[in-house]
Amino acid sequence: MKLVVVILFTCLMQVSASTFAQRVTLNQRNATLEKVLKAIRLQTGYNILYDVNLIKKADLINLNVQNVSVEEAIEEVLKNQRLTYKIEEKNIIIKPQETTFLERPAERWAAIDITGRVVDESGNPLPGATVKVKDGKSVTMTDAQGRFLIEKVNEGATIVISYTGYQTVEITAKQNMGSITLKLSDNPLDQVQIIAYGTTSRRFSVSNNATVTAKEIENQPVNNPLLALQGRVPGLEITQANGIPGGGVKVRIQGRNNINPNLVGSDPLIVIDGVPFMSQNLSTFLGGSDSGMPILGGSNEQTPSLGVPTGNPLAFINPSDIESIDILKDADATAIYGSRAANGAILITTKRGKIGPMRVNVNLQQGWGNVGHFMELLNGQQFMEMRREAKANDGATTLATDYDLRGLWDTSRNTDWQKELIGGTAKYSNFTAGVSGGNQTVQYFISSTFSKETSVFPGDFDNTSGSLHFNVSAANSDNRLKIQLGGSYMHNVNRLPGIDYTRTALLLPPVAPNLFTDNGVLNWAPDPQANGNSSWVNPLSMQYNLFDTKTGNLVTNASISYRILNGLEVKSTFGFTNTISDQFLGTLNESVKPELRADRQRAANFGFNKSQSWIVEPQLSYTQALGKGRLSVLTGSTFQQQLNEGRAFLVNGQPSDQLLRNMASGATLRSTGIDIAQYRYSGVFARVGYVQDERYMLSLTARRDGSSRFGANNQMHNFGSIGLGWILSEEGFFKKVLPFISFAKLRGSYGFTGNDQLGNYRFMNLYTSVTPSILYQGQPGLEPLNLPNPNLEWELTKKMQLGLDMGIIKDRFLFTLNYTLNRSSNNLTDIALPHIAGFPSFTGNLPAVVQNRSWEFSLMTENIQSKEFHWSSSVNLTIPHNKLLAFPGLETSSLANFYIIGQSLNIARNYAFVGVDSQMGTFLIADRYGNPTSNPSVSNDRTSVNQTGLQLYGGLQNNLTYKGVKLEIFIQFTRQNGLQLPDFGAIPGRVIYSLIPIGNQPLGVMQRWQKPGDISLYQRFTSTTRLPSDVGDRGFGDISYARIKNVSVSYQFPSKVTKWLSTQSLRVYLNSQNLLTITKYRGLDPETLSYSSLPPLRMITAGIQATF
C-alpha cells in the first residue's frame, strides 16, 4: 500500500509541476548534467532531448539559482560546457556548441538536428524503436515516450525507423519530424516471436524457431494444446497415444537424445508465461486398470504400467487461453535455459489485454466425434470356419470351454463388435466468454471456459472442465514502472472406464452372445453343463470398472520492472504452479460374473498427487544504439524449486459397493506407490545481442546451472552458444545481381546444453522398507535399492545449426531451410556390474554418443491477393536421421538387445521369415546360421533388424478467403516403417476364454495354408501354441499416411449486419479434426499403431463467435 501511495504522489507531483511550474529553483553541488536536466524537467514539465553520449562527457555542475526562468536556468547550467540549446514549444534540445568557420568546413553548416516521436496506430509511444540515417553512421533508439534526437543530419537525408512487429518506414529528414506512425506488419518476417526472456522477429533472429498462433489453435477442437501442433512445425514430433481425453502425448524436438528412455527423459522444457510447467505426470498418477494397458496411455517411450507416468499434464491447460506457442530448437534459442532445454523448449504465451475500449467476446461450439476407420475382421461364418479347421489340423477334440464349437453359443450370429463397443458418438461442447480492454497505463483480460466431451464407449463417461484465466498489466505515466499479474486455473473431472474397450472390440468372436437378455439385463450366457456358470465375461461389464480423476491446476505469474535510465531496465519475474489430482479406480459387483460375486473380495485403488513449484528470476537488461547498430544485453539468475507428493494405495475388503470410495471401510490398506521428492535448481545467465546496420547479427549466450539431481562433485555445469546472421539482401551487390529476391539471410549457431531429466536422488544410496516373513525382533527392515554415485554428472548435447531464410518477389514467397546436427554424449544409464557387487548395475555416465541429424524445410506463399479473393499456402517438411555413434560395453549392457552401433535407436530385432512350409503349413524362420527352422531361439535367432519410426514428416496448409467466407485446410503427412499387424499376436484358430473371450482375426488370415503344396501368406490354422504370425520382419513395411488433419469453414458477417445487431463482429464456423486418413496400414490408426487403444477421434463441430 505504501508503494502505491508513493507512486501516486510522485505522479501527481509530476502533473502539478508540468502544469503550473514555469520558474526554476535549484541548489546542486558536484552534480552530473543529466541529474540537473532531470530536475529542470520535473519542475517545468519541459521535454529535454539530448544525446546521452554527449551529456556523459560534460563537467560536474555547482549551481544555486532561485526562482529564475527556464532560459536563465539552462544558460547557467550549460555555461562553460561547450553546449548550447534551443526551445521549440515544450521541447528543450541540448546540442554541441556551434563552431566557427575557422574550425569546420562551410558545408557542415547545412547539417541539422532532428527530433520526433514514434507511435503506433493508436497514438501510443513505441519505446526502443530504432531510428537511423540511411547509408550513414548515426543511429539511436526511442525513449519510453517514443521520442528521439539525432544530431548533425544532412537536411534531406533518409531516416529509417523500425520496430519489432511493425512495418519499417523511410522518411525525409527535417528538424521537427513530429509524430511518426508505424503500422502493424502482416509480413511474417516482422511479426513478433517469443524467445527465452524476450522477443524478436524472424527477420533479425539467428535461431531456429517456429510459432503457432491462437488462430491456428482455435480452429482445432482439441483438449490438449500440444495436439494443435501436430504436423505444423518442422522438427517437432507430436504423437498421440490414443483418442482418450487426457491421454498421453509424446513430444520430441529434433529426435531422441538418450539411450535409456526408462531412466532419462527426452521431453522439451514447457514454459507457460515464463513459468516452467511439468512435462510428465507423477509416477503415482493412475492411468487406469493395472491389469493391462492403462487407458490413458503414456507420454514417452516407456510401456505404460504401474509406476510409469501416464496421461499428459498439458491436458489441464485450456487451449482457448493461448495466444501463441513458440518452439525453440537450436542452441542459440535454448542454451540460455541451460540443462532444462537440452531437448528444446515450448513457450506458451497466454492472452493478455490490449489498449482499447472494453470488449466482450463469446464463443459457443458444439460437436460430435467418432472412430474414423474400422478394421476388416472375420465375420461369423469365417470365424467358425477358422475354428473348425484349426481343430481338424490339430486332430484335437472339442473342449468343454469351446462354447462356440459345442453349440452353446449361437454360431449363426455375426456381431460387429467394433460398432457395438467403440462405434458410439462422442459429444463435444465448449463455451468461452471473456472481457478485455484498457488504456495506456492499465490493460486487462479475463475469460472463462466450460468444456465437456463424452465417450464413444458404452456407458456414462465424460471429461468435464471449467477454467478461469486473467491478466492485468499496469504502468505509471512515463512507463518507467511496470507491473503484470496473470494466472490460469482449471478444474477437471475425467470419468472413464478403467479399461479401454478397443482391444475387446477387435478380438471378441463375432459369434459371442448378445449383450443383454430379453429382460434387458446383462447376458452372462450361463452354461448348463457347468452348473449354470457364465460362459463369458460380458464386455459391457467394463462400464462398472470406474476410473475417476479430479484435478485442479493453477499456473500464476507476475513481473515487476523499472526503467532506471533510457535503455536500462531492472526486472524480476515470479511464478507458481500447483497441480493436485485425486483418483479413484474401483470395480462394482456388476463387473464380475454372477457366480463369483458372493465370494468376491472388493478392492479399490486410490491416487493422491500434488506437484508444486515456484520460480524467481531477477534480470537486468540494457539496450542502446552503438555505432551503426543496436546492442542488447541481458543478465539474470534463476531460483526454482519443485515439490512432488504422490501416493497410491490399494484398499481391500470393503463390505459393499457403496463403500468402495471410503478408504477407511476396507479390511486392509497397503501402499502401491510413492513419489515424494524435492527438486531444486538455480542458475545465472547472460545474453549479448548486436545488430549492425540492419544486416549483421551476433548473439552470445552463457549459463551456469546447478541441479539437486547430481552429487556434490558435479552439481554445477556451464553451457553456452554463439549465433551469427547475415542479411545478404541488404548488400548493394546482392540487390544488383538478384533484385527479385527481396530478403535473404544466412544464419548459424553452435552451442552445448545439458540434461538433468533424471529421477531425483539417483546419486544417493537409497533404501526401502521390507517386511519379511520372519521379522527381526518383530520389526520390518530396510533393504538397499542401489549403490551411490557422487560422481554422477550431466548429459551433454552439442548442437549445430545452419539456416537460410529467403523472401522472393516482395516476400510473397518465404522459404526457410535448416540443417541441424546434434550429438549427445556422457549418457546417463544403468551400467552393468559383476555379480559379486551385490547389485546388477548402478546409475552412471557412459561415453555413448547419440546423433540426430535433420533437414527442415518450410515455404509460405501468397498465391493470389485481390480485393475480394485471397489464397495463401504453407508447407513444411522434416527429414530426420538418428544414429547411435558409440556405446562402449554395449554387448554386456542390458540394452544389448535393443541397439546396434551405427544404426538408429529406432530399430526392432525380429526373426527373419523365410516363408510358409508348403508341406507342413508352418512358418519357417532363418536361424543365426541362415538355416530354415520352425523352432527358432528367442535369444539367438532374431537376426533381422528393422528400422521403425519416422523417415519424413510435415504438413500442408491452404487458406482461401472470398469476401466473408474463409476455407482453411491442413493436411498432415508422415512416411514411416513399422509393424503392419497381420494378426493380433494370438494364434489364428485359437480362442482364449480366461476373461473376455479373444480370438477374432483380421480378414487377411483367410489366405492361409490348407493342404500340402499350398503357397500361402499365413501358416495353417491351429488351436495350439505355435509361432505367432505377427512376430518377425514379415509384418514390417511401409505404414505411411496422409491425414486431413483440420478443415475450417467460416463466414464473417459484414459490418452493416453487425452494426444492425449491435455487435463489433460476428462469425459462424464449422471445424473438423482428423477428417480422413489415407494409408496402407491395416490397423485402426497409423499414428497410435495399437490394437489395444482407441484411435484419435474424427471430430466435427459447429460454432458461433461474437464480439460486443
Q: Please state, in angstroms and rounded to a whole number, the distance separating the CA atoms of residues 685 and 638.
A: 8
Pairing of strands 949-962, 869-886: antiparallel
pLDDT for the residue 106: 44
Exposure class string for 429-452: b at 16+ Cβ within 10 A, else e: bbbbebbbbbeeeebbbebbbebb
pLDDT for the residue 16: 36
- Report whether pLDDT(984) > 90: no
pLDDT tens digits, one per residue of 160-195: 998 888 888 988 888 888 889 998 888 888 888 899
What are the residues facing 250 on neighbouring strands? Answer: 239
| Nearest residue to 768 via CA among 786, 755, 754 | 786
* C-alpha cell of residue 703: 549459463
pLDDT for the residue 1030: 53
The mean pLDDT value for 759-782 works out to 84
pLDDT for the residue 100: 54
Four-CA torsion 1086, 1089, 1091, 1096, nearest 10 degrees: -60
Q: Please state, in angstroms and rounded to a whole number, the distance separating the CA atoms of residues 188 and 750.
A: 25
Q: What ranges make up the beta strands (E) of 480-628? A: 481-497, 526-527, 533-534, 545-565, 568-587, 603-626
Q: Please state, in angstroms and rounded to a whole number, the distance separating the CA atoms of residues 948 and 477.
A: 60
pLDDT for the residue 967: 97
Q: Please state, in angstroms and rounded to a whole number, the distance separating the CA atoms of residues 712 and 706.
A: 10
- Report whether pLDDT(108) > 50: no
pLDDT for the residue 768: 84
| Nearest residue to 1095 via CA among 507, 501, 549 | 501
Instruction: Give the ranges where 424-579 is alpha helix by DSSP (H).
Output: 502-507
* C-alpha cell of residue 1039: 505404414
* C-alpha cell of residue 168: 519499417
For cell 518477389, what's the residue?
809
Residue pair 983/1005 in contact by the 8 Å Cβ criterion = yes
Q: Please state, in angstroms and rounded to a whole number, the distance separating the CA atoms of residues 110 and 87.
A: 20
* C-alpha cell of residue 623: 539496450
Res. 564 pLDDT band, cuts 50 70 90: very high
Residue pair 1097/457 in contact by the 8 Å Cβ criterion = no
Res. 82 pLDDT band, cuts 50 70 90: confident
| Nearest residue to 584 via CA among 604, 603, 602 | 604
Pairing of strands 827-832, 813-825: unpaired
For cell 533510457, what's the residue?
566
Q: Please state, in angstroms and rounded to a whole number, the distance separating the CA atoms of residues 512 and 993.
A: 11
Residue 716: Cβ within 10 Å count:
14
Average pLDDT, the chain: 89
- Report whether pLDDT(720) > 70: yes
pLDDT for the residue 985: 59
pLDDT for the residue 15: 37
Residue 168: Cβ within 10 Å count:
15
Res. 636 pLDDT band, cuts 50 70 90: very high
**Amino acid identity for residue 539 in this structure:** P
pLDDT for the residue 19: 36
- Report whether pLDDT(1050) > 50: yes
- Report whether pLDDT(3) > 70: no
pLDDT tens digits, one per residue of 335-390: 999 889 999 999 999 999 999 999 999 999 999 999 999 999 999 999 999 999 99
- Report whether pLDDT(155) > 90: no
Instruction: Report the range of poorest mean pLDDT among 12-21, 41-50, 287-296, 591-600.
Output: 12-21
Residue pair 588/544 in contact by the 8 Å Cβ criterion = yes
pLDDT for the residue 78: 84
Q: 70-77 and 33-44 are packed helices; what angle lies between their axes, rounded to 10 degrees?
A: 180
Instruction: Report the range of poorest mean pLDDT among 369-383, 627-641, 769-783.
Output: 769-783
For cell 446383462, what's the residue?
522
What are the residues facing 86 on neighbouring strands? Answer: 93
Exposure class string for 632-669: b at 16+ Cβ within 10 A, else e: bbbebbbebebebbbbbbbbeebeebeebeeeebbeee
Domains of the chain in start order, with CATH, are 2-96 (3.55.50.30), 106-181 (2.60.40.10), 192-354 (2.170.130.10), 386-413+982-1029 (no CATH), 911-945 (no CATH)
Higher-confidence residue of 795 and 1047: namely 1047
> HSE of 638 in the Cβ direction (CA atoms, 13 Å)?
25
The mean pLDDT value for 278-305 works out to 80
pLDDT for the residue 993: 81
CA 1010 to chain centre: 52
The mean pLDDT value for 409-429 works out to 96
- Between CA 898 and CA 945, with CA 293 as vertex, the angle to 5 degrees is 20
Q: Please state, in angstroms and rounded to a whole number, the distance separating the CA atoms of residues 493 and 215.
A: 27
Question: Which sign does the torsion angle of CA 401, 403, 404, 405 carry?
Answer: positive
**Which whole-number Å values give the CA distances from 355 to 358, 439, 989, in the listed order?**
9, 5, 70
Q: Please state, in angstroms and rounded to a whole number, the distance separating the CA atoms of residues 334 and 206.
A: 12
Instruction: Give the ranges where 957-1100 is alpha helix by DSSP (H).
Output: 1055-1060
- Report whether pLDDT(18) > 90: no
Q: Please state, in angstroms and rounded to a whole number, the distance separating the CA atoms of residues 62 and 671.
A: 77
**Amino acid identity for residue 348 in this structure:** I
DSSP codes, 647-705: EEEEEE--SSGGGTT-GGGSSEEEEEEEEEEEEEEEEEEEEEEEEETTTEEEEEEEEEE
Residue pair 159/172 in contact by the 8 Å Cβ criterion = yes
pLDDT for the residue 90: 81
pLDDT for the residue 641: 96
- Report whether pLDDT(101) > 60: no
Residue pair 271/348 in contact by the 8 Å Cβ criterion = yes
| Nearest residue to 54 via CA among 5, 89, 93, 91 | 93
For cell 482453411, what's the residue?
968
